[in-house]
Amino acid sequence: MIDIHGVIPALVTPMNPDESINEKELRNQVRRQIAAGVHGLFVFGTNGEFYALSEAEKLRVLEITVEENNGRLPVYAGTGCPGTADTIRLSRECEKRGAGALSVITPYFAALSQKELIAHYEALADSVNLPVILYNIPARTNVSITPDTVEKLSQIPGIAGVKDSSGNFDTILQFIERTDGGFAVLSGNDSLLLWTLQAGGRGGVCGIANLFPRTLVSVYDLWKKGDFEGAKKVQDSIRAIRNCFRLGNPNSIVKMAANLLGHPVGPCRKPFWSDDPAVAEEIGRVLKEHYAGAE
């Protein structure tokens, strides 16, 4: 079992102009994140465009990340699929290739009861030897993991935590209240990182860490030192770039901003990409006005 805590960047999957995976830049980004002091590496999550990658591509991304990481940090792999059998198969393949933990989004598209959800995660936990982190993102899946379900699942060996991207802080609070200290509650919303830590959570899976990893790490470090005001000041500093999410798909906004910052991570796979010059101009303005020198 790994120590699930801190700032875990939800790594984008770098692409070449033809939408093939840019393996060289993926290695660059892994090294960059490690140098910034992050506490783990999370591949092919929502920011990593798991929904647009083939299984073979996911496994290749994991292999590169594990190789470049060379045992320095835990590597989290997003293995959730709509079906239980597919989720188990992909999870086992990731386990073979060196993943340290699994982040498993709820099944999506079809309607799902909480009883069926519990059975899905129980079957997965029984089938792998890695810690399983539940992933709640109802806006994308139309399936919510209730606090009662999280409480029940937290008692199953192998289910080690939950990442909540609902954006509802009360949901995070209930997850913390309903589980013990050995169960890791993580925020999937960067703006709630500090507040999750303050409430008793372990940290966050952060998309903005693709842009400013040291900034996000400093929120955690300052909080850990007891400097809440300092941590809050840094936490508040990411609001301007997060406000750019209103301009389009957040994954596209993060990649566009990374490109503008000099990190050539390329486009998102179509149709989830827009090279609208007006959007790029606004993101560029925000970066210049609010983040000169930030990293």
Q: Which of these, 235, 168, 163, 172, lies nearest to 205 by C-alpha position?
A: 163
Structure tokens given for 283: 């993101």
What are the helix and strand counts (H, E) for the chain? 13, 8
Measured torsion, CA atoms of residues 276, 281, 282, 284, in degrees rounded to the nearest 10: 120
Which residue among 76, 121, 135, 220 is the active-site one? 135
How far is CA 53 from each of CA 21, 79, 81, 90, 200, rounded to the nearest angstrom?
9, 12, 12, 13, 34
Q: Residue 143 is encoded by which pair of tokens?
A: 């399936």
- In whole angstroms, what is the distance from residue 160 CA to residue 271 CA? 35
Burial class of residue 216 (count of CB atoms within 10 Å of its CB; 0-12, 13-18, 19+): buried
Catalytic residue chosen out of the listed positions 58, 121, 163, 255: 163
Is 51 among the catalytic positions? Answer: no
Residue 163: active-site member: yes
First to last CA, the chain: 31
Q: Is the CB of residue 122 less than 8 Å from the CB of residue 156?
A: yes
User: Which residues participate in catalysis according to the annotation?
Assistant: 135, 163
